Structure formats: structure tokens, C-alpha cells
A and B are shown apart, each in its own frame.
Chain A
Amino acid sequence: MSDDAVLPLDSWHRARDARMASFAGYAMPIQYEGIIAEHLWTRENAGLFDVSHMGQLFFSGDGVEAAIEALTPADVEGLALGRQRYSLLLTGDGGIIDDLMIARWRQGIYMVVNAATKGADIAHIEPHLPDNVSMKVLTDRALIALQGPKAAEALGRHVSGEYGLDALIFMAGGQYRLAGEDVWISRSGYTGEDGFEISLPATIVEEVAEALCGEPEVKPIGLGARDSLRLEAGLPLYGHDIDEHTSPIEAGLGFALSKRRREAGDFPGAAQIIRQREEGPSKKRVGLIVEGRQPVREGALVVDAEGQEIGKVTSGGFSPSLEKPIAMAYVPAALAEPGTEIALQQRGKPFAGTVTALPFVPHTYHRQPKP
């Protein structure tokens, strides 16, 4: 038997005939009825994802903002109550240790980090914290996401709060009541769709999953479709599209560098990152639509006319929504304009791709109407 850690919804997934597989040390549902069906269901209705393997951290104490700012390019001081931001843990020379979400709760700062990296993240963060700032790993909480155009409607029947879910715009969150407990709900996700992420006590997650999947709009969705959805949405996957050897500028994540911190130049790797932002990076993460039907996968090469390696595919697969193969790759900056034809090679076989603006499938986030 495997040594995989078991998450609170394990038996619930198995009762729904999920195919379970090891992912980042956890037994996780890869698929239920099939990746394509689950993917399309999420784009048209609403899908429930178990992401309890991710790390949920909570920071509190005097100086918590400065402590997190010392590790990330986020403007934590300026982060209002109930707002969430995408940010990065950076190395001293500007490489990406992890990508993450931070949000301001009433008593402190809540952070969600990737499952595969959470141990290393904690080891990196802990020694940097001043004595009066504490970090708690919220191991007693589960994390689920409800994603898709009908997510708000379905979730709305189960939650109550000071404000309705309508009050939440993209990247905002708040305290709500769900199954008799206090939960944190943010309007965010990893599919490109409108939707929510819900941090809740592990003791009620099965009841909540059951109730949500009892709604006609909702089906459980596995990690397989989570990956194809995020790829279509152009969202990078840590350890694949970004890592310690890619910079936020190369990765197209410049938006994660808050204006205040950029101007102050006081985050890890700021000198390198700001210089690269001004001078332009030598390589860039781009989207590719691949000719034909055969997908190119992570590790396929971007080549020049002589067949020499000039870049690499970091994620690739078949897009259920576009019904064609798509990929993300790092290419030389001169080849990063949409429309540029890119030569690829996988297992000795040539492929052709065209640079395409990300996302491949438009985001449908619930944003504040423009005045």
C-alpha cells in the first residue's frame, strides 16, 4: 500500500467511484466520470474540487504585514479586510519558491500555498518570522472550490452571512455560515471561471460536499480536469511552468509585483526583477496552439530552424473546450508575439505551434462593473 496521506474527503471520493492517485504525497481523486466530461461540465455548470491537500497558513501578531512583505512582493500593508491577492515567495535572486494567495482576515493574514511545496515553504518562512509574529498551519481545515457559471447560484442556497455572495467580487472574501459553522469564502479559483474557494473545518467538509453535489448544477471534479481547466485559463502550475529558475517577469506574472513594493524595490530579488522588468526578459512564457491533434507535453523542445533547442514546453495537453492541443512554453522574447510560428520537437518528431495570447479560453471572473 502507498504511504499517501489521507484527506478528509477520501472515503467520500471513493464512494463516488473516483479514480484515486498519488499527488504530492496525498491520495487525490484524478477523475470520476472522465476528464473531458468533467471539464466541460465545469465550464457550463459548476464543479466541486477538493483541494484540501493545499497548505493553509495563518499569520498573526504585531508586524505580520512587514513579516510577509519581507518574503513576497505583495503590498500586505495595503491589503484591506476581505481582500485577496496572488503573490509569490521569492528567492534572493528573484526565482519563484512558490506561488500563493494571501487574504486579510479579521485577526491576521491567511495564506494558501501549493501542496507539493508547503513543507519547503514553511521551512523557508518560519526562520524569517520575528518573535511576535506567529504562523499556524491550519491542519484542522479542509479546502474546497466550487467553480463554474452556476457556482454562485448553487452555493447561494447553502450559505448565510452579513452580506450575500453577490457582494463578493473576484478576489474578495468574507466570513459566512455553512453547515452550522463559520467558514471563509473567497471569490477565486484555478479554472478561469467565476467561482469560490471555501476554507472550512474538516469536520463539516463531507456534509458540505454532499449538500453541494446534491444541487442539480454541481458535480465533483477531479485533478485531471483541474489541470486541463487551468491550462486553458493560462494559469501557471508551480513546479512545471514556474520554479526557482524562472522569474516573475519571464513567467508573465509581473502583476504580482505590487506598485508600492516595486517602487520601493524592497522585496527579495528586487534588483534583478526590476532590472529585467525594465530591460525585458530574454525568454517569456507563452501559450501555443499546436497543429494537428497530437498534444505536446511538458519537456517537449522549442527548436530553431537548425533543430537546436531554444526553449521548452512546460505544460501541454488536449483542450476539451477548444478540441485541439494547447501548451505553455518558454520561448525567446523575440518569438513571443501572438501569431509567431514556433517549431517544436517531441521524442524526435517535429510539431508546429502558433503563439496565442493567454488565456486560451476567456476568463469569466465576477469583476466589479467598470464605472
Chain B
Amino acid sequence: MIRRRFIPLFAALAMHASAWAADVRVEVRSPGGAPIANAVVTISGPATTTALPADGWVMEQKGLAFHPFVLVVPPGATVSFPNHDQTRHHVYSFSPAGPFELKLYGSGETRTVRFPKAGTIAIGCNIHDQMTAFIRVTDAPWAAVTDASGVATFHDVEAGDRSINVWHPYQKGAPDATLGRESMIPAAGSVTQTFLLSIRKPLDLHSAY
């Protein structure tokens, strides 16, 4: 009888390998309440694991645009840049955190770049000036980009005092500053945090060239 009662408890503990963890939902909105997509949300603090893998990251070129617009990766990550357009691209960055140049390459081809250190890498194409994207390299154990509804969701964030930070490539103020807040992550359940961020989006020109 006693044995039967303990089986479900052991099973529950086994399923929650990262015991004493909670889900964290972060909403990023403008002061007017509009959802802000493409904001990078990081959760830092002592952690035993990082949620971000070092490989498998992709920055596509499709429809004369980079996809995703914002990518967040850990230091040392390798990012591939496949070209799915019919035209050729010449991808580069002058950002001190990870300058690189991928000389002209055509449809169906790909190149890879390794980003060893943390920072922001602004990416462009020398053929198509309207193409822009950002890679944010972070050593935070948990990081994600907000979706179209302005939400980033994290599962199994270890309980404890954590710092939640938000960054957006078009934020007002210092380009590398983050909007941060200390948060106590509970041992179970979920927690939601909302950040208000002011951004100034430049003109998005779609050109056939």
C-alpha cells in the first residue's frame, strides 16, 4: 500500500529533472500597450546549465530579407547563413563583437560564422542595403526572442533570485543598454513579468534590387 502511494511521487520527481524550477513568461510592450516583437529577453544568475545549444543556429536570406530579424546565441555559437534567394548576397558585419564578411554567394549555397564573444552583431548585405538583421551573443543561461505577440516563454528556469533583462535593436537610449529587473523565480508553477520598452523603428524599404 505504502509502496503504491510513493510510485507517483517518484515519477513526478523524475519527470521534473530540474526540480525547483518554474516557467517564466515575459511580455514586452510599448508604453502604449502594443506588443514588441524581436526583443531579446535574458535571464541570468547562478545556473548549472545553459538552455542554449552551441550549434544549429540559422540566419536565412529569403525574399531579400534576413530571417529571423533577431537571433540570440551563446558565445562560441556557429551560425549558418543559407541563401534561399535567386540572387546573390554579400553578408557582412562591422560590429566590434564579431566582424565578418561572407563574399558573394548564390542561391542554395550557405556559409557559417562562429561568434566567440558576447555582444551585438549588426548584419547587412552589400548588394541589398535594405537587408538588416541582428545577432545578440549572450552568456546568460536563458535567452529568447519575443514573438509577434511580444512574448518570450522560458520553461524550467531554476528557482532563485534572477535578473531578467530586455534589449531591442531599435530601442531608444544607449544601443547596448538593457532594461533589467530582479525577479524571484519560485520553486514551481509559473511567473509572468511585463516590461515596457520604447523603440523607434526606421523605415522598412522593400526594394526589388
Whether chains A and B associate is no
A-binding residues in B (CB < 8 A): none
